A and B are shown apart, each in its own frame.
Chain A
Amino acid sequence: MIQVKGLQKYFGKKQVLKDINCEINDNEVVCVIGPSGSGKSTFLRCLNALEVAQGGEILVDQFKVTDPETDLNLLRSHVGMVFQRFNLFPHMTALENICLAPISVKKMTRQKAEEKARELLKRVGLSEKENSYPHELSGGQQQRVAIARALAMDPQLLLFDEPTSALDPEMVGEVLDVIKSLAHGGKTMVVVTHEMGFAKQVCDRVFFMDAGQIIEIGTPQQIFGDATNERTRSFLSKIL
Protein backbone atom coordinates (compact mmCIF):
# COMPACT_ATOMS: atom_id res chain seq x y z
CA MET A 1 0.00 0.00 0.00
CA ILE A 2 2.73 2.49 1.00
CA GLN A 3 6.37 2.61 0.00
CA VAL A 4 8.65 5.34 1.29
CA LYS A 5 12.23 5.65 0.06
CA GLY A 6 14.78 8.14 1.30
CA LEU A 7 12.18 10.73 2.37
CA GLN A 8 13.67 14.10 3.33
CA LYS A 9 11.80 17.06 4.72
CA TYR A 10 13.11 20.47 5.70
CA PHE A 11 11.40 23.40 7.36
CA GLY A 12 13.66 26.18 6.21
CA LYS A 13 17.15 25.03 7.01
CA LYS A 14 16.00 22.63 9.69
CA GLN A 15 15.88 19.00 8.62
CA VAL A 16 12.85 17.36 10.19
CA LEU A 17 12.80 14.05 8.33
CA LYS A 18 16.13 12.39 7.55
CA ASP A 19 16.03 9.54 5.13
CA ILE A 20 12.82 7.74 6.05
CA ASN A 21 12.43 4.29 4.54
CA CYS A 22 9.51 1.96 5.12
CA GLU A 23 6.81 -0.20 3.61
CA ILE A 24 3.28 -0.67 4.80
CA ASN A 25 1.16 -3.50 3.45
CA ASP A 26 -2.49 -3.62 2.50
CA ASN A 27 -4.82 -3.96 5.50
CA GLU A 28 -1.96 -3.39 7.88
CA VAL A 29 -2.35 -1.22 10.98
CA VAL A 30 0.81 0.66 11.89
CA CYS A 31 1.30 2.77 14.98
CA VAL A 32 3.93 5.48 14.96
CA ILE A 33 5.34 6.38 18.35
CA GLY A 34 8.19 8.58 19.49
CA PRO A 35 9.08 11.68 21.48
CA SER A 36 7.57 15.08 20.80
CA GLY A 37 9.18 16.85 17.86
CA SER A 38 10.57 13.66 16.37
CA GLY A 39 8.68 14.22 13.11
CA LYS A 40 5.74 11.85 13.47
CA SER A 41 3.12 14.33 12.30
CA THR A 42 5.33 15.58 9.53
CA PHE A 43 5.87 12.03 8.28
CA LEU A 44 2.13 11.39 8.31
CA ARG A 45 1.38 14.66 6.52
CA CYS A 46 3.89 13.83 3.81
CA LEU A 47 1.88 10.71 2.99
CA ASN A 48 -1.07 12.76 1.71
CA ALA A 49 1.09 15.66 0.58
CA LEU A 50 -0.15 18.16 3.15
CA GLU A 51 3.59 18.72 3.47
CA VAL A 52 5.76 18.80 0.39
CA ALA A 53 8.81 16.57 0.69
CA GLN A 54 12.16 17.86 -0.51
CA GLY A 55 13.68 14.51 -1.32
CA GLY A 56 12.91 10.85 -1.71
CA GLU A 57 9.94 8.96 -3.04
CA ILE A 58 6.54 8.13 -1.64
CA LEU A 59 4.23 5.68 -3.27
CA VAL A 60 0.69 5.36 -1.91
CA ASP A 61 -1.22 2.71 -3.78
CA GLN A 62 -0.86 3.67 -7.43
CA PHE A 63 -0.06 7.32 -6.61
CA LYS A 64 3.46 8.71 -6.81
CA VAL A 65 2.93 11.31 -4.11
CA THR A 66 6.27 13.00 -4.67
CA ASP A 67 5.83 13.30 -8.44
CA PRO A 68 4.80 16.90 -9.34
CA GLU A 69 2.51 15.52 -12.05
CA THR A 70 0.38 13.57 -9.60
CA ASP A 71 -3.21 14.73 -9.09
CA LEU A 72 -3.05 15.39 -5.36
CA ASN A 73 -6.79 15.94 -5.04
CA LEU A 74 -7.40 12.48 -6.43
CA LEU A 75 -4.79 11.01 -4.12
CA ARG A 76 -6.31 12.73 -1.10
CA SER A 77 -9.79 11.57 -1.96
CA HIS A 78 -8.44 8.04 -1.45
CA VAL A 79 -6.65 8.82 1.80
CA GLY A 80 -8.65 9.78 4.87
CA MET A 81 -7.10 11.87 7.59
CA VAL A 82 -8.17 12.43 11.19
CA PHE A 83 -6.60 15.32 13.05
CA GLN A 84 -5.69 15.86 16.66
CA ARG A 85 -7.93 18.90 16.87
CA PHE A 86 -10.81 17.34 14.85
CA ASN A 87 -11.01 20.25 12.39
CA LEU A 88 -14.70 19.83 11.76
CA PHE A 89 -16.25 22.60 9.70
CA PRO A 90 -17.98 24.76 12.33
CA HIS A 91 -20.55 26.26 9.95
CA MET A 92 -21.94 22.85 8.97
CA THR A 93 -23.92 20.24 10.87
CA ALA A 94 -22.46 16.80 11.54
CA LEU A 95 -24.36 15.45 8.56
CA GLU A 96 -23.20 18.25 6.27
CA ASN A 97 -19.61 17.76 7.39
CA ILE A 98 -19.81 14.14 6.32
CA CYS A 99 -21.68 14.75 3.05
CA LEU A 100 -19.47 17.57 1.83
CA ALA A 101 -16.69 15.61 0.14
CA PRO A 102 -18.83 12.84 -1.36
CA ILE A 103 -21.03 15.50 -2.96
CA SER A 104 -18.42 17.99 -4.11
CA VAL A 105 -15.54 15.63 -4.89
CA LYS A 106 -17.19 12.36 -5.82
CA LYS A 107 -20.26 14.07 -7.32
CA MET A 108 -22.58 11.81 -5.39
CA THR A 109 -26.21 12.90 -5.25
CA ARG A 110 -27.19 14.60 -2.00
CA GLN A 111 -29.73 11.91 -1.23
CA LYS A 112 -27.21 9.10 -1.58
CA ALA A 113 -24.58 10.99 0.35
CA GLU A 114 -26.97 11.62 3.22
CA GLU A 115 -28.04 8.01 3.29
CA LYS A 116 -24.43 6.99 3.57
CA ALA A 117 -23.66 9.68 6.14
CA ARG A 118 -26.48 8.44 8.37
CA GLU A 119 -25.11 4.93 8.12
CA LEU A 120 -21.68 6.17 9.17
CA LEU A 121 -23.09 8.22 12.04
CA LYS A 122 -24.80 5.10 13.24
CA ARG A 123 -21.54 3.22 13.03
CA VAL A 124 -19.79 5.75 15.26
CA GLY A 125 -22.76 5.82 17.60
CA LEU A 126 -24.05 9.31 16.85
CA SER A 127 -27.27 8.75 14.95
CA GLU A 128 -29.18 11.26 17.01
CA LYS A 129 -26.61 14.03 16.41
CA GLU A 130 -26.89 14.48 12.66
CA ASN A 131 -28.26 18.01 12.93
CA SER A 132 -25.89 19.18 15.64
CA TYR A 133 -23.21 21.74 14.93
CA PRO A 134 -19.67 20.93 16.07
CA HIS A 135 -19.80 23.39 18.97
CA GLU A 136 -22.81 21.51 20.31
CA LEU A 137 -20.83 18.26 20.51
CA SER A 138 -18.31 17.03 23.08
CA GLY A 139 -14.71 16.49 21.99
CA GLY A 140 -15.18 12.74 21.75
CA GLN A 141 -18.31 13.19 19.67
CA GLN A 142 -16.58 15.68 17.39
CA GLN A 143 -13.73 13.29 16.79
CA ARG A 144 -16.15 10.49 15.97
CA VAL A 145 -17.88 12.73 13.44
CA ALA A 146 -14.45 13.54 12.01
CA ILE A 147 -13.76 9.83 11.61
CA ALA A 148 -17.11 9.36 9.89
CA ARG A 149 -16.26 12.28 7.61
CA ALA A 150 -13.01 10.60 6.60
CA LEU A 151 -14.78 7.27 6.05
CA ALA A 152 -17.40 8.83 3.80
CA MET A 153 -14.91 8.90 0.93
CA ASP A 154 -14.28 5.15 1.23
CA PRO A 155 -10.55 5.71 1.65
CA GLN A 156 -8.11 2.89 1.01
CA LEU A 157 -5.86 4.36 3.65
CA LEU A 158 -6.61 6.14 6.91
CA LEU A 159 -4.15 8.44 8.67
CA PHE A 160 -4.65 9.39 12.31
CA ASP A 161 -2.55 12.08 13.96
CA GLU A 162 -2.89 11.66 17.71
CA PRO A 163 -6.66 11.32 17.47
CA THR A 164 -7.18 11.25 21.24
CA SER A 165 -4.58 13.72 22.54
CA ALA A 166 -6.95 16.67 22.60
CA LEU A 167 -9.65 14.76 24.45
CA ASP A 168 -10.62 14.68 28.10
CA PRO A 169 -9.57 11.30 29.55
CA GLU A 170 -13.12 10.04 29.90
CA MET A 171 -13.70 10.42 26.16
CA VAL A 172 -10.59 8.68 24.94
CA GLY A 173 -12.18 5.24 25.19
CA GLU A 174 -15.13 5.92 22.93
CA VAL A 175 -12.88 7.22 20.13
CA LEU A 176 -10.36 4.40 20.48
CA ASP A 177 -13.20 1.88 20.29
CA VAL A 178 -14.26 3.30 16.94
CA ILE A 179 -10.70 3.18 15.64
CA LYS A 180 -10.30 -0.39 16.87
CA SER A 181 -13.44 -1.47 15.07
CA LEU A 182 -12.00 -0.02 11.87
CA ALA A 183 -8.72 -1.83 12.41
CA HIS A 184 -10.54 -5.11 12.75
CA GLY A 185 -12.62 -4.27 9.70
CA GLY A 186 -9.52 -4.57 7.52
CA LYS A 187 -8.50 -1.02 6.67
CA THR A 188 -4.94 0.10 6.10
CA MET A 189 -4.19 2.59 8.84
CA VAL A 190 -1.28 4.63 10.10
CA VAL A 191 -1.87 5.91 13.61
CA VAL A 192 0.38 8.37 15.38
CA THR A 193 -0.39 7.89 19.04
CA HIS A 194 0.75 8.25 22.61
CA GLU A 195 -1.73 5.58 23.73
CA MET A 196 0.64 2.67 24.23
CA GLY A 197 -2.12 0.35 25.43
CA PHE A 198 -3.93 0.95 22.15
CA ALA A 199 -0.76 0.35 20.17
CA LYS A 200 -0.09 -2.94 21.96
CA GLN A 201 -3.61 -4.16 21.42
CA VAL A 202 -4.46 -3.08 17.94
CA CYS A 203 -1.58 -2.64 15.60
CA ASP A 204 0.34 -5.11 13.52
CA ARG A 205 3.60 -3.20 13.63
CA VAL A 206 5.05 -0.28 15.57
CA PHE A 207 7.38 2.35 14.10
CA PHE A 208 9.51 4.15 16.64
CA MET A 209 10.66 7.57 15.46
CA ASP A 210 13.30 9.79 16.95
CA ALA A 211 15.00 12.92 15.62
CA GLY A 212 13.52 12.63 12.15
CA GLN A 213 14.27 8.96 11.60
CA ILE A 214 12.50 5.66 12.02
CA ILE A 215 14.83 4.05 14.51
CA GLU A 216 13.09 0.76 15.01
CA ILE A 217 10.30 -1.26 13.44
CA GLY A 218 8.72 -4.31 14.98
CA THR A 219 5.63 -6.08 16.20
CA PRO A 220 4.15 -4.70 19.43
CA GLN A 221 5.58 -7.72 21.24
CA GLN A 222 9.06 -6.95 19.97
CA ILE A 223 8.94 -3.21 20.60
CA PHE A 224 7.23 -3.28 23.96
CA GLY A 225 8.77 -6.56 25.05
CA ASP A 226 12.42 -6.31 24.17
CA ALA A 227 13.32 -3.38 21.98
CA THR A 228 16.81 -3.71 20.56
CA ASN A 229 17.54 -0.02 20.24
CA GLU A 230 18.74 1.92 23.27
CA ARG A 231 16.72 5.03 22.39
CA THR A 232 13.53 3.04 21.99
CA ARG A 233 14.03 1.47 25.36
CA SER A 234 14.75 4.71 27.12
CA PHE A 235 11.67 6.33 25.50
CA LEU A 236 9.42 3.46 26.54
CA SER A 237 10.80 3.29 30.05
CA LYS A 238 9.93 6.96 30.47
CA ILE A 239 6.32 6.67 29.40
CA LEU A 240 5.25 3.20 30.47
Chain B
Amino acid sequence: MLSWFRTDIIVEYWPLFLEGLKTTLELTLIGVFFGTLLGLFLGIGKIALVERGPWKWPVKIFVRIPSQLYITFFRGTPLFVQILLIHFALVPLLIHPDEGFLIQGDWALLLKREYGAFISGALALSLNAAAYIAEIFRAGIQSIDKGQFEAARSLGLNYFQTMKLIIIPQAFRRMLPPLGNEAITLLKDSSLVSAIGLAELAYAARTAAGAYSRYWEPYLFISFIYLLITLGLSYGVHLLERKFKNS
Protein backbone atom coordinates (compact mmCIF):
# COMPACT_ATOMS: atom_id res chain seq x y z
CA MET B 1 0.00 0.00 0.00
CA LEU B 2 2.79 2.35 0.82
CA SER B 3 4.69 1.31 -2.27
CA TRP B 4 4.62 4.87 -3.59
CA PHE B 5 6.61 5.95 -0.53
CA ARG B 6 10.23 5.45 -1.60
CA THR B 7 11.94 4.64 1.65
CA ASP B 8 15.19 4.12 -0.26
CA ILE B 9 15.56 7.91 -0.50
CA ILE B 10 15.46 8.21 3.25
CA VAL B 11 17.86 5.32 3.60
CA GLU B 12 20.32 6.75 1.10
CA TYR B 13 20.34 10.15 2.75
CA TRP B 14 20.21 8.72 6.26
CA PRO B 15 23.61 10.11 7.33
CA LEU B 16 22.62 13.57 6.13
CA PHE B 17 19.32 13.42 8.00
CA LEU B 18 21.13 12.26 11.12
CA GLU B 19 23.67 15.08 10.79
CA GLY B 20 20.78 17.49 10.22
CA LEU B 21 18.93 16.27 13.30
CA LYS B 22 22.06 16.76 15.36
CA THR B 23 22.43 20.34 14.10
CA THR B 24 18.74 21.07 14.73
CA LEU B 25 19.01 19.82 18.30
CA GLU B 26 22.24 21.74 18.85
CA LEU B 27 20.66 24.95 17.58
CA THR B 28 17.64 24.44 19.82
CA LEU B 29 19.73 23.74 22.91
CA ILE B 30 22.00 26.71 22.28
CA GLY B 31 18.98 28.92 21.63
CA VAL B 32 17.24 27.84 24.82
CA PHE B 33 20.39 28.20 26.91
CA PHE B 34 21.60 31.59 25.74
CA GLY B 35 18.07 32.81 25.17
CA THR B 36 17.24 32.07 28.80
CA LEU B 37 20.42 33.68 30.07
CA LEU B 38 20.03 36.84 28.03
CA GLY B 39 16.25 36.79 28.45
CA LEU B 40 16.64 36.83 32.23
CA PHE B 41 18.64 40.05 32.11
CA LEU B 42 16.40 41.64 29.49
CA GLY B 43 13.24 40.69 31.37
CA ILE B 44 14.53 42.18 34.60
CA GLY B 45 15.99 45.12 32.68
CA LYS B 46 12.67 45.91 31.07
CA ILE B 47 11.03 46.50 34.44
CA ALA B 48 14.07 47.75 36.37
CA LEU B 49 13.11 50.91 38.20
CA VAL B 50 15.01 52.99 40.73
CA GLU B 51 12.69 55.46 42.41
CA ARG B 52 15.31 57.85 43.65
CA GLY B 53 18.99 58.47 44.17
CA PRO B 54 21.95 58.58 41.78
CA TRP B 55 20.98 55.37 39.95
CA LYS B 56 17.56 56.54 38.87
CA TRP B 57 18.53 57.97 35.45
CA PRO B 58 21.43 55.66 34.54
CA VAL B 59 19.21 52.64 35.11
CA LYS B 60 16.45 54.10 33.00
CA ILE B 61 18.66 55.19 30.11
CA PHE B 62 21.16 52.34 30.01
CA VAL B 63 19.06 49.41 31.22
CA ARG B 64 15.33 49.90 30.97
CA ILE B 65 15.00 51.65 27.62
CA PRO B 66 17.57 49.50 25.75
CA SER B 67 15.89 46.34 27.06
CA GLN B 68 12.53 47.58 25.89
CA LEU B 69 13.89 48.52 22.45
CA TYR B 70 15.59 45.16 22.07
CA ILE B 71 12.47 43.20 22.97
CA THR B 72 10.29 45.33 20.72
CA PHE B 73 12.62 44.89 17.76
CA PHE B 74 13.05 41.14 18.00
CA ARG B 75 9.39 40.45 18.64
CA GLY B 76 8.21 42.92 16.05
CA THR B 77 10.24 41.74 13.04
CA PRO B 78 10.22 38.35 11.28
CA LEU B 79 12.80 35.84 12.46
CA PHE B 80 13.60 35.11 8.82
CA VAL B 81 14.62 38.72 8.24
CA GLN B 82 16.63 38.67 11.48
CA ILE B 83 18.52 35.61 10.29
CA LEU B 84 19.43 37.25 6.98
CA LEU B 85 20.36 40.50 8.72
CA ILE B 86 22.59 38.72 11.18
CA HIS B 87 24.22 36.37 8.66
CA PHE B 88 24.88 38.84 5.87
CA ALA B 89 25.25 42.11 7.77
CA LEU B 90 26.06 41.69 11.45
CA VAL B 91 28.37 38.67 11.53
CA PRO B 92 30.62 39.93 8.68
CA LEU B 93 30.99 43.10 10.71
CA LEU B 94 32.19 41.12 13.72
CA ILE B 95 34.16 38.34 12.03
CA HIS B 96 36.09 39.45 8.99
CA PRO B 97 39.66 38.73 7.78
CA ASP B 98 40.45 42.43 7.26
CA GLU B 99 38.25 44.55 9.44
CA GLY B 100 36.30 42.35 11.86
CA PHE B 101 35.44 44.10 15.10
CA LEU B 102 35.74 40.92 17.11
CA ILE B 103 37.91 38.49 15.15
CA GLN B 104 40.30 39.17 12.26
CA GLY B 105 42.94 37.45 10.13
CA ASP B 106 43.30 33.80 9.17
CA TRP B 107 41.31 32.67 12.12
CA ALA B 108 38.35 34.73 10.98
CA LEU B 109 38.65 33.22 7.52
CA LEU B 110 38.69 29.69 8.87
CA LEU B 111 35.88 30.31 11.31
CA LYS B 112 33.75 31.78 8.61
CA ARG B 113 34.32 28.98 6.12
CA GLU B 114 33.82 26.15 8.59
CA TYR B 115 31.22 27.50 10.98
CA GLY B 116 29.93 30.74 9.42
CA ALA B 117 26.34 29.63 8.95
CA PHE B 118 26.21 27.85 12.28
CA ILE B 119 27.44 30.90 14.17
CA SER B 120 24.93 33.14 12.42
CA GLY B 121 22.08 30.68 12.87
CA ALA B 122 22.78 30.03 16.54
CA LEU B 123 23.22 33.75 17.17
CA ALA B 124 19.98 34.69 15.41
CA LEU B 125 17.95 32.03 17.20
CA SER B 126 19.45 32.91 20.59
CA LEU B 127 18.89 36.64 20.18
CA ASN B 128 15.34 36.05 18.97
CA ALA B 129 14.50 33.58 21.73
CA ALA B 130 15.92 35.99 24.32
CA ALA B 131 13.28 38.57 23.45
CA TYR B 132 10.44 36.10 23.89
CA ILE B 133 11.95 34.57 27.03
CA ALA B 134 12.44 38.07 28.45
CA GLU B 135 8.69 38.56 28.23
CA ILE B 136 8.18 35.22 29.98
CA PHE B 137 10.50 36.33 32.78
CA ARG B 138 8.82 39.73 33.00
CA ALA B 139 5.36 38.18 33.26
CA GLY B 140 6.63 35.61 35.78
CA ILE B 141 8.25 38.26 37.95
CA GLN B 142 5.22 40.53 37.82
CA SER B 143 2.94 37.64 38.76
CA ILE B 144 4.65 37.36 42.14
CA ASP B 145 2.83 39.17 44.93
CA LYS B 146 4.33 42.59 45.63
CA GLY B 147 4.36 41.69 49.32
CA GLN B 148 7.17 39.21 48.65
CA PHE B 149 9.37 41.95 47.28
CA GLU B 150 8.50 44.26 50.16
CA ALA B 151 9.10 41.62 52.81
CA ALA B 152 12.53 40.89 51.36
CA ARG B 153 13.50 44.53 51.04
CA SER B 154 12.22 45.30 54.54
CA LEU B 155 14.69 42.74 55.89
CA GLY B 156 17.56 44.62 54.28
CA LEU B 157 18.10 42.41 51.22
CA ASN B 158 19.24 44.45 48.24
CA TYR B 159 17.56 44.38 44.85
CA PHE B 160 19.71 41.60 43.42
CA GLN B 161 19.47 39.39 46.50
CA THR B 162 15.72 39.84 46.45
CA MET B 163 15.53 38.85 42.80
CA LYS B 164 17.87 35.89 43.16
CA LEU B 165 16.63 34.44 46.46
CA ILE B 166 12.95 35.35 46.55
CA ILE B 167 11.43 36.43 43.27
CA ILE B 168 13.16 34.32 40.59
CA PRO B 169 12.82 30.98 42.44
CA GLN B 170 9.07 31.55 42.77
CA ALA B 171 8.63 32.98 39.30
CA PHE B 172 10.64 30.15 37.74
CA ARG B 173 8.07 27.53 38.66
CA ARG B 174 5.39 29.47 36.89
CA MET B 175 7.67 30.07 33.94
CA LEU B 176 8.55 26.46 33.23
CA PRO B 177 5.49 25.73 31.05
CA PRO B 178 5.88 28.85 28.86
CA LEU B 179 9.63 28.19 28.67
CA GLY B 180 8.88 24.67 27.43
CA ASN B 181 6.60 26.12 24.78
CA GLU B 182 9.34 28.52 23.76
CA ALA B 183 11.69 25.56 23.31
CA ILE B 184 9.11 23.96 21.00
CA THR B 185 8.82 27.16 18.98
CA LEU B 186 12.57 27.40 18.78
CA LEU B 187 12.90 23.84 17.52
CA LYS B 188 10.45 24.54 14.72
CA ASP B 189 11.85 27.96 13.89
CA SER B 190 15.34 26.52 13.58
CA SER B 191 14.25 25.17 10.17
CA LEU B 192 14.43 28.75 8.87
CA VAL B 193 18.22 28.78 9.07
CA SER B 194 18.40 26.36 6.13
CA ALA B 195 18.05 29.59 4.12
CA ILE B 196 21.64 30.54 4.93
CA GLY B 197 22.89 27.09 4.01
CA LEU B 198 23.13 25.55 7.44
CA ALA B 199 22.73 21.78 7.17
CA GLU B 200 19.99 21.09 9.70
CA LEU B 201 16.95 18.87 9.20
CA ALA B 202 15.11 21.01 6.67
CA TYR B 203 18.30 21.45 4.67
CA ALA B 204 18.82 17.69 4.60
CA ALA B 205 15.29 17.24 3.27
CA ARG B 206 15.85 19.87 0.62
CA THR B 207 19.04 18.14 -0.52
CA ALA B 208 17.36 14.75 -0.76
CA ALA B 209 14.36 16.26 -2.52
CA GLY B 210 16.55 18.03 -5.03
CA ALA B 211 18.50 14.91 -5.91
CA TYR B 212 15.43 12.79 -6.69
CA SER B 213 12.83 15.45 -7.48
CA ARG B 214 10.66 13.69 -4.87
CA TYR B 215 9.08 15.89 -2.24
CA TRP B 216 6.69 13.75 -0.23
CA GLU B 217 9.25 11.43 1.26
CA PRO B 218 11.90 13.80 2.61
CA TYR B 219 9.51 16.46 3.86
CA LEU B 220 7.06 14.00 5.38
CA PHE B 221 9.95 12.25 7.03
CA ILE B 222 11.34 15.37 8.71
CA SER B 223 7.80 16.47 9.64
CA PHE B 224 7.53 13.21 11.48
CA ILE B 225 10.81 13.80 13.29
CA TYR B 226 9.84 17.37 14.26
CA LEU B 227 6.49 16.10 15.46
CA LEU B 228 8.09 13.37 17.54
CA ILE B 229 10.32 15.87 19.35
CA THR B 230 7.66 18.54 19.84
CA LEU B 231 5.22 15.98 21.21
CA GLY B 232 7.92 14.73 23.57
CA LEU B 233 8.60 18.28 24.73
CA SER B 234 4.89 19.02 25.20
CA TYR B 235 4.57 15.94 27.31
CA GLY B 236 7.52 17.11 29.41
CA VAL B 237 5.88 20.52 29.83
CA HIS B 238 2.65 18.83 30.84
CA LEU B 239 4.45 16.79 33.50
CA LEU B 240 6.13 19.92 34.86
CA GLU B 241 2.82 21.73 35.01
CA ARG B 242 1.31 18.89 36.97
CA LYS B 243 4.26 18.67 39.29
CA PHE B 244 4.21 22.36 40.18
CA LYS B 245 0.46 22.67 40.46
CA ASN B 246 0.61 20.71 43.70
CA SER B 247 3.46 22.56 45.35
Contacts and interface: CB of A to CB of B under 8 A. Distances in A.
Q: Do A and B come from one complex?
A: yes
Interface of A: 48, 50, 52, 68-69, 73-74, 76-81, 83, 85, 87-91, 100-101, 104-105, 146, 149-150, 153
B52 interface: yes
B157 A68 contact: no
A101 B52 contact: no
A77 B151 CA distance: 12
Name the residue among B147, B155, B158 with the largest chain A CB count within 10 angstroms.
B155
A163 B71 CA distance: 41
Contacts of B147: 83, 85, 87
A73 B158 contact: yes
Contacts of B155: 76-77, 80, 100-101, 105, 149-150, 153
Given A83-B147, A90-B170, A104 B153 contact: no
B52 A76 contact: no
B154 A81 contact: yes
B157 A73 contact: yes
A77 B158 CA distance: 10
Contact of A68 (B54, B161, B165): B54
B150 A77 contact: no
A219 B172 CA distance: 49
B148 interface: yes
Nearest to A70: B53
B156 A76 contact: yes
A87 B157 CA distance: 15
A114 B67 CA distance: 40
A88 B153 CA distance: 13
Contacts of B114: none
Interface of B: 51-54, 145, 147-148, 150-158, 161, 165-166, 169-170
A85 B156 CA distance: 19
Contacts of B153: 50, 73, 76
Given A89-B151, A105-B156, A153-B155, 18 more contacts: A50-B153, A68-B52, A69-B53, A73-B156, A74-B156, A76-B153, A76-B154, A76-B156, A80-B155, A81-B154, A83-B150, A85-B147, A91-B170, A100-B165, A101-B155, A104-B165, A146-B151, A150-B155
Contacts, number: 63
Contacts of A87: 145, 147-148, 150-151
Contact of A52 (B51, B54, B161): B51
A50 B156 contact: no
Nearest to B169: A91
A149 B54 CA distance: 31
Contacts of A48: 154
A54 B68 CA distance: 28
A146 B53 CA distance: 30
Name the residue among B53, B148, B151, B153 with the largest chain A CB count within 10 angstroms.
B151
A45 B148 CA distance: 15
A80 B165 CA distance: 19
A105 B165 CA distance: 12
A50 B154 contact: yes
A79 B153 CA distance: 11
Contacts of A90: 170
